[in-house]
Amino acid sequence: MPTLDIEKIKKEVVDSQLWRSVFRGGVWKDTPRDRAAHIVGNVWLHLHPVKVRPRALKWSYTWGMGGISFALYLLLTLTGVALMFYYRPTVGLAYRDIKDLEFAVTLGRFLRNSHRWSAQAMVVAVIAHMVSVFLRGGYKKPREFNWGVGVLLLTLTLFLSFTGYLLPWDQLAIWAVTVGTNMAGATPFLGNEGPFGGLMGMHINNDVRFTLLGGTMVGENTLLRFYVMHCVAVPLVVGILLILHFWRIRKDSFSAAPYQANEEKVEVWPHLIKREYIAAAGVVLFIMVWSILQNAPLESIANPNVTPNPSKAPWYFVGLQELLVYFDPWIAGVLLPGLIIVGLMAIPYIDTNPKGIGVYDWKERAFANTMFMLGIVMWFVLIYIGQACRGPNYAFYPPWESWYILKAAPPSTWSVFGPAGVGALPILLGIPVIGGLFGASMLLPKLIQKELNGKVVLGGFLAALAVLAGVGMALGKFGPVSGAFMLFFGGVAFYFGFILPQRHIRSLDWPRYLVTMGLVVCTMAILLKMCARLTFNIKYVLTIPAISLNI
Rank residues 3 and 402 by Cβ distance to another protein and give the closer one: 402
Name the minimum Å distance from CB 101 to another protein. 10
- In the Cβ-directed half-sphere of 504, how many Cα atoms lie within 13 Å? 24
Rank residues 99 and 248 by Cβ distance to another protein and give the closer one: 99
Binding mask 75-94 for another protein (x = CB under 8 A): -----------------x--
Name the minimum Å distance from CB 308 to another protein. 5
- 3-class DSSP state for residue 397? coil
Binding mask 324-363 for another protein (x = CB under 8 A): ----------------------------------------
Q: Which stretch binds another protein (CB under 8 A): 67-75, 301-309, 485-493, 527-535?
A: 301-309
Of 11, 274, 355, 477, the one binding another protein by CB under 8 A: 274
Three-point CA angle 187, 188, 191, nearest 5°? 50
392-408: burial string, b at 16+ Cβ within 10 Å, e else: eebbebeeeeeeeeeee
Q: Which stretch binds another protein (CB under 8 A): 107-115, 146-154, 246-254, 482-490?
A: 107-115
Q: Give the interface size with another protein as a residue count (CB under 8 A).
A: 42
Sequential DSSP letters for 472-523: HHHTTSS-HHHHHHHHHHHHHHHIIIIIHHHHHTTTS-HHHHHHHHHHHHHH
Is the bond leading into 354 cis (omega within 30 degrees of zero)? Answer: no
Rounded to whole angstroms, the Cα distance separating 277 from 185 reads 45
Rounded to whole angstroms, the Cα distance separating 228 from 235 reads 10
Compute φ and ψ for 213, nearest 5 degrees. -85, -20
Of 96, 251, 265, 355, the one binding another protein by CB under 8 A: 96
Of 16, 303, 352, 453, the one binding another protein by CB under 8 A: 303
**Is 409 one of the binding residues for another protein (CB under 8 A)?**
yes
The CA distances from residue 145 to 32, 123, 136, 138, 150, in Å, are 34, 21, 16, 11, 9
**Is 58 one of the binding residues for another protein (CB under 8 A)?**
no
Query: Would you say 250 and 37 are in contact if contact means Cβ atoms under 8 Å apart?
Result: no
Query: Would you say 496 and 523 are in contact if contact means Cβ atoms under 8 Å apart?
Result: yes
Rank residues 273 and 422 by Cβ distance to another protein and give the closer one: 273
**Is 104 one of the binding residues for another protein (CB under 8 A)?**
yes
Rounded to whole angstroms, the Cα distance separating 493 from 520 reads 9
The CA distances from residue 50 to 71, 248, 261, in Å, are 21, 16, 19
The CA distances from residue 86 to 79, 194, 288, 292, 434, in Å, are 12, 39, 20, 20, 55
Residues in 214-273 at the binding interface with another protein, rule: CB under 8 A: 270
**Is 74 one of the binding residues for another protein (CB under 8 A)?**
no
**Is 397 one of the binding residues for another protein (CB under 8 A)?**
no
Query: Would you say 495 and 528 are in contact if contact means Cβ atoms under 8 Å apart?
Result: no
Rank residues 113 and 387 by Cβ distance to another protein and give the closer one: 113
In this structure, how many other beta carbons lie within 10 angstroms of the beta carbon of residue 487?
A: 16
- 3-class DSSP state for residue 538? strand
Burial of 59 (0-12, 13-18, 19+ CB in 10 A): exposed
Of 1, 406, 420, 474, the one binding another protein by CB under 8 A: 406
**Is 381 one of the binding residues for another protein (CB under 8 A)?**
no
Rank residues 171 and 255 by Cβ distance to another protein and give the closer one: 171
Rank residues 99 and 512 by Cβ distance to another protein and give the closer one: 99
Of 100, 220, 267, 361, the one binding another protein by CB under 8 A: 100
Of 118, 170, 195, 316, the one binding another protein by CB under 8 A: 170
Name the minimum Å distance from CB 102 to another protein. 8
Q: Which stretch binds another protein (CB under 8 A): 45-53, 305-313, 453-461, 473-481?
A: 305-313
Of 284, 359, 452, 462, the one binding another protein by CB under 8 A: 284
Name the minimum Å distance from CB 270 to another protein. 8
What residues make contact with another protein under the rule CB under 8 A? 92, 96, 99-100, 102-104, 106-107, 109-110, 170-171, 270, 274-275, 277-278, 281-282, 284-285, 288-289, 291-292, 298-300, 303, 305-309, 403-409
